[in-house]
Amino acid sequence: MTIVLNATTGITTPPVSVEGSTSGTITLVAPAVAGTNTQTLVAATGTLAPLIAGTAVASTSGTFIDFTDIPSWVKRITVMMNGVSTSGTSNPLIQLGTSGGIVSTGYQVQSFNNVNPGGSTAPTSFTAGFGSQSGAAVNTLTGNLVITNLSGNIWVGQGAFYITTTASSYIAGGVTLSGTLDRVRITTVGGTDTFDAGSINILYE
């Protein structure tokens, strides 16, 4: 039986079932314009999901920025900032949330700054989110935080941000949520300082 895949008409035969061999691998070979392309799928249990980018948001106003409707299958989220600044001296904070709202307690997170040249600040502990040391209105942050699902509703994260005051801020920690993660909030400790520069986006997979 011939199976035809056409960009306009789609599959012109009944549904297709791809079965692996006893070797535990599946090899799909598709002809290209010149030569061939081969993709081998190794036997494994799991979900093949795409890497999806959110819509970048200008962090120039408001006291928080939310990214919502994150699918339940997501296992890793990357929060990216470029030149993000706030109006006051409160440290930036990244919080996770469920259908019940943003979670603002229970985090075990520390952040410290590596100051150029050759020094570092004492670590700061955060319990309300993944916080970054950057307590000056003139500072901007550029970098990312990667948050990964360990199992169930346990999320751990680490990241680094360049700070315009010739320093880098490093973050590590985690939190256990009471439900399935479906949102991320970027705000500040206390939640009263407003954003006044930069842009923020997320990737999830």
If DSSP states are collapsed to H, E and C, what string results for 176-198?
ECCCCCCEEEEEECCCCCCEEEE
> How confident is the model over 19-63, as pLDDT tens digits?
555 555 555 555 555 555 566 655 556 666 789 999 999 999 999
Domain-located, residue 133: yes
Beta-carbon contacts of 29 under 8 Å, excluding residues fewer than 6 positions away, are 36, 37, 38
Residues 128, 105: contact at Cβ < 8 Å?
A: yes
pLDDT of residue 117: 58
pLDDT of residue 92: 92
Tell me the C-alpha distance between 201 and 175, whole Å. Answer: 21
Are residue 86 and residue 178 in the same domain, yes or no?
yes
Are residue 38 and residue 134 in the same domain, yes or no?
no
**CATH code at 117?**
2.60.120
Are residue 88 and residue 176 in the same domain, yes or no?
yes
Domain-located, residue 134: yes
Q: Give the count of domains, the chain.
A: 2
pLDDT greater than 70 at residue 14: no
Check the CA dihedral 53-55-58-59 and report its sign: negative
> How confident is the model over 60-113, as pLDDT tens digits?
999 999 999 999 999 999 999 999 999 998 999 999 999 999 999 999 999 988
Domain-located, residue 158: yes
Are residue 37 and residue 137 in the same domain, yes or no?
no
> How confident is the model over 108-133, as pLDDT tens digits?
999 988 875 566 677 889 999 999 98
Are residue 138 and residue 198 in the same domain, yes or no?
yes
Are residue 59 and residue 38 in the same domain, yes or no?
no
Are residue 73 and residue 97 in the same domain, yes or no?
yes
Are residue 128 and residue 198 in the same domain, yes or no?
yes
Are residue 36 and residue 58 in the same domain, yes or no?
no
Domain-located, residue 156: yes
Are residue 99 and residue 26 in the same domain, yes or no?
no
* Domain assignment of residue 12, given as a range: 5-42
Are residue 170 and residue 83 in the same domain, yes or no?
yes
Domain-located, residue 47: no
Are residue 35 and residue 61 in the same domain, yes or no?
no
- More confident position, 44 or 169: 169
